[in-house]
Amino acid sequence: MIYLSNYKSLVVREPKTFWFFNYRTLTKRSTLLNNNQEEVLFMAISRDKKQTLVAELTELLKDAKGTAFARYQGLSVAELQELRKAAREANVVIKVVKNRLVRVALEGVDTYKETDTDLLVGQLVYAISAEDEVMPAKVLDTFAKTHPALQLAGGFSGEGLSINEADIKALAGLPSKDQLVAEVVAQLLSPVHDTVGALGGNLHGLLDGIEAKATA
């Protein structure tokens, strides 16, 4: 038995076996891993690192227009990277962090001091946007359609309200801010387009009438 003080839990792959480091001891399990199974490595986080993560989350939440979170157990590391890429393209930040640290960050923002955090259960991935109330939920929901292991679980509004699973799914179905702006602009321009078209038609008719009289 080997005692460790620097690790909480860590899985290291070896051919046909893997080592499991728990909080206090090291044991070896001769277990053949599935080819599709991904090990998530949880190394002990230093106090300084935790403080850095909380500070980053606090700043993100201060400016957040919307936050959504989802259960991600079963997603591979590669799939999480794919999710991060999709989120970046939508100006959404993805964070995979312990719920306890999220609670600490929420308590550091006046808007979220009284926010209900009962939904923060299990392994969660967080999507945060400083620009759009809908995009965090939409990014997770869109990714979940092709990756069923990702399941929307809830969210927070920019006003500090807790959003349950049903409501966050409904929110994900709404148009994004950019989509709404585009629709409004299209509607505003539509009467102008119709008016210009009508004026153009009348002008052509008038010119045709003048030409007909001139040649009579």
If asked whether residues 192 and 159 sit together in one domain, one would say: no
Please answer whether residues 103 and 97 qualify as being in contact, where contact means their C-beta atoms are separated by less than 8 angstroms.
Answer: no
Query: Residue length, the chain?
Result: 216
Residue 190: per-residue pLDDT? 60
Residue 175: per-residue pLDDT? 81
Residue 23: per-residue pLDDT? 37
Query: In terms of residue numbers, what domain contains 35?
Result: 1-44
If asked whether residues 51 and 16 sit together in one domain, one would say: no
If asked whether residues 193 and 215 sit together in one domain, one would say: yes
If asked whether residues 90 and 154 sit together in one domain, one would say: yes
Residue 146: per-residue pLDDT? 96
* Residue type, position 85, single letter: K
If asked whether residues 169 and 104 sit together in one domain, one would say: yes
If asked whether residues 60 and 161 sit together in one domain, one would say: yes
If asked whether residues 93 and 128 sit together in one domain, one would say: yes
If asked whether residues 4 and 28 sit together in one domain, one would say: yes
Rg (C-alpha) for the chain, rounded Å, is: 27
* Whole-number Cα distances in Å, 101 to 2, 45, 65, 104: 30, 11, 20, 5
The single residue listed with the structure tokens 């989350």 is 57
If asked whether residues 62 and 161 sit together in one domain, one would say: yes
If asked whether residues 1 and 65 sit together in one domain, one would say: no
If asked whether residues 69 and 145 sit together in one domain, one would say: yes
Task: Extract the runs of DSSP E, i.e. beta strands, from the chain.
Answer: 10-14, 17-21, 26-29, 66-71, 93-96, 124-129, 151-157, 162-163
The total number of structural domains that make up the chain:
3
Residue 33: per-residue pLDDT? 40
Per-residue pLDDT of the chain in tens (216 residues, 90 and over written 9): 333 334 444 444 444 344 444 433 333 333 334 444 433 434 456 788 889 999 999 999 999 999 999 999 999 999 999 999 999 999 999 999 999 999 999 999 999 999 999 999 999 999 999 999 999 999 999 999 999 999 999 999 999 999 999 999 999 999 866 666 666 666 666 655 555 555 556 655 555 665 665 666
Residue 40: per-residue pLDDT? 41
Residue 48: per-residue pLDDT? 84
DSSP single-letter state for residue 96? E
The two structure tokens encoding residue 212: 């007909």
